[in-house]
Amino acid sequence: MISNRTFLFDQPHTLLQKVVDQVAKVVVGKRDAIEKSVIAMLCGGHVLLEDVPGVGKTLLVRSLAATIGCGCKRIQCTPDLMPSDITGVSVFQPQTAAFEFRPGPIMNPVVLADELNRALPRTQAAFLEAMEERSVTVDGVTYELPKPFLLLATQNPLDHEGTYPIPEAQLDRFLMKLSLGYPEHGDEVGMLEQQLQRRSPDSLRPVLLQEEWVQLQNEAATVNVDESLREYIVSLAGATRRHPDLRLGASPRASAALMRAAQARALMQGRRYVVPDDIKCLAVPVFAHRLLPSTDALIGGRTPQAAVEAAVASVPIPVLRFAAVR
């Protein structure tokens, strides 16, 4: 039993649903992707959006940033983009005979790295420290990033012209990988109507202030995860490591990411405790992009997503051991 906890918000789930509803006014017909993006951001995770051009990836990121009251900077990744264009650079000032740091766009609460896999690998690496350490180092000096710091990156499928694969170490730093897909017929008609009404992310009013979002992130981290559910998460990760179709299974970082995501989903559902469904519905977006299929799986067209689904189906669902949660 959990008790004697002080929470800053009486009904955080109502605020979080308002965030989803607000974004859904602009991003039509993609409520599941919106909810999962909010979950990832709520636990401080980064999101990778992979899809064909023109389905609303950039629109989703801008709408999320506007709704949670955070400034958003967009970095258009191209082959000529340099690491200093992301992190910032030290500029010599003749008046003071000293170097002055001019921060790059990474020094913002929400950063959109558009078409990340069009940047050269050395430029992609400029995001690594920021994603893991929440800081950037320029000329030997480390600068802390704001709170919250959320990186939402888009990428085109790898078979598109002019793309470079994102290294496994960097993929592992993304909490979730999501895809929007083409809209349904009715949703696309609604999208055209919104174009006529000139509805855009700039028209959205913040549901929360930046400081309040940080407080909600702290509350999500306090959601109870029963020991049996922690064992369940590790068992799911272990099942991917033993799966014959995978040559690289889920890392310990992936296990921690799934637990944090489950905590955030529970809070969105109005609970202060995690249940197995929180874990099961997030296992694929948290795990699949971190896994490498075997050669036989590639030839046979079997995907890492299918391997995660098989792991979820094979690992027994635990019985919760706590009696009640308040």
- pLDDT band at residue 40 under the 50/70/90 scheme: very high
Q: Tell me which residue has tokens 């191209």.
A: 78
At residue 158, the pLDDT reads 61
Q: How many CB atoms lie within 10 A of CB 230?
A: 15
Q: Encoding tokens for residue 20?
A: 């989803």
Tokens representing 104 are 């790059």
Q: Are 117 and 166 in contact (CB under 8 A)?
A: yes
Instruction: Between 188 and 175, name the one with better pLDDT.
Output: 175
Q: What does the pLDDT read at residue 2? A: 43
Q: Is the pLDDT of residue 204 over 90?
A: no
pLDDT tens per residue across span 223-265: 999 999 999 999 999 999 999 999 999 999 999 999 999 999 9
Q: In what order do the strands lie in the sheet with 46-50?
A: 72-76, 110-114, 150-155, 46-50, 174-178
pLDDT digit string, tens, across residues 66-116: 898 888 899 999 999 999 999 998 888 888 878 888 999 999 999 999 999
Distance in angstroms between the alpha carbons of the first and the last residue of the chain: 7
Q: What pLDDT does residue 109 have?
A: 92
Helix H, strand E, coil C: the string for the chain is CECCCCCCCCCHHHHHHHHHHHHHCCCCCCHHHHHHHHHHHHCCCEEEEECCCCCCHHHHHHHHHHHCCCCEEEEECCCCCCCHHHHEEEEEECCCCEEEEEECCCCCCEEEEECHHHCCHHHHHHHHHHHHHCEEEECCEEEECCCCCEEEEEECCCCCCCCCCCCHHHHCCEEEEECCCCCCHHHHHHHHHHHHCCCCHHHCCCCCCHHHHHHHHHHHCCCECCHHHHHHHHHHHHHHHHCCCEEECCCHHHHHHHHHHHHHHHHHCCCCECCHHHHHHHHHHHHHHHCEECHHHHHHCCCHHHHHHHHHHHCCCCCCCCCCEC
Task: Give me the pLDDT at residue 322, please.
Answer: 53
Kindly tell me if the per-residue pLDDT of 4 is higher than 50: no
Average pLDDT over residues 179-206: 82
User: CA-CA-CA-CA torsion for 175, 172, 65, 143, nearest 10 degrees?
Assistant: 120
pLDDT for the residue 7: 55
Query: Quick check: 304 pLDDT over 70?
Result: yes
CB 268 within 8 A of CB 42: yes
> Which structural domains are found in the chain, ordered by start?
1-222 (3.40.50.300), 223-326 (1.10.8.80)
Predicted confidence at residue 1, as pLDDT, reads 40
Give CA–CA dist 7/234, Å, rounded. 29
- Two tokens at 90? 């030290």
Q: Is the peptide bond before 109 cis (omega within 30 degrees of 0)?
A: no
Q: Percentage of residues in the chain with pLDDT exceeding 90?
A: 60
pLDDT of residue 325 exceeding 50, the answer is no
Average pLDDT over residues 181-187: 87
Q: How many CA atoms lie within 13 A of 286 on its CB side?
A: 32
- Per-residue pLDDT averaged across 280-295, rounded? 94
Q: How far apart are CA 120 and CA 24, in angstroms?
A: 34
pLDDT (mean) for 206-235:
93
